[in-house]
Amino acid sequence: MATDQLLRSLFVQAVEDHEGQRFEHHFSPDLCQNGTTTVDGCFEKGLGPTEFDCSGLVVASLCEVLGLDSRTDWPWEYRHGIQMSELAEEGRLPRAGDVSVTQSWDAPWHVVVHLNRHEIGEAVSLEGVWRRSSAHLWLDGTVATIPLERLVAVVTDGQ
């Protein structure tokens, strides 16, 4: 396993490599009850390689770094932002590579990856592609941060 700093750097790079890809929600209230449950269809859209939803960007990028298959190796119980929020630490100041789950009036369970003082998030341009957005655009609601090492431990089952 790579050192913490190297792992963070590789994860951030994997996320950045997907910048410009199309944003695509995968769920609907009928499919996975707005992210409160996971079904087969949750692993069929939003995980790349050409379109991502916010949690799918995290899943796909981290799996790339860890050499895992995002469709078969990722734990079902953490496919959506609302599910990932269970791993978060309230009040933790994020470091590069940490993942935050935000709640606000327009994005009830949004997941972002911190790139130092910037994030890749559900920032969708008029062309409908991922782009960087300043942290202050997303950190206006409730925020809980998931340390990258905690997410890695869950995905690799502590290996």
What's the CA gap between 138 and 133, in Å, rounded? 8
Question: Higher pLDDT residue, 10 or 131?
Answer: 10
What's the CA gap between 11 and 19, in Å, rounded? 13
pLDDT band of 91, cuts 50, 70, 90? confident
pLDDT of residue 104: 60
Q: What is the pTM of this model?
A: 0.82
Q: Which CATH architecture has domain 4-155?
A: Alpha-Beta Complex (3.90)
The dihedrals phi and psi of 125, each to the nearest 5 degrees, come to -80, 180
**Tokens encoding 22:** 């199309």
4-18 residue pLDDT tens:
889 999 998 898 888
pLDDT of residue 127: 40
pLDDT at 153 over 80: yes
Question: Higher pLDDT residue, 32 or 133?
Answer: 32
Average pLDDT, the chain: 77
pLDDT band of 108, cuts 50, 70, 90? low
Q: Which of 50-64, 71-85, 95-109, 115-129 has the lowest mean pLDDT?
A: 115-129
Q: Domain spans of the chain?
A: 4-155
Q: Where are the alpha helices (DSSP H) in the chain?
A: 4-17, 29-32, 54-66, 81-84, 135-138, 148-155
pLDDT at 66 over 50: yes
pLDDT at 78 over 60: yes
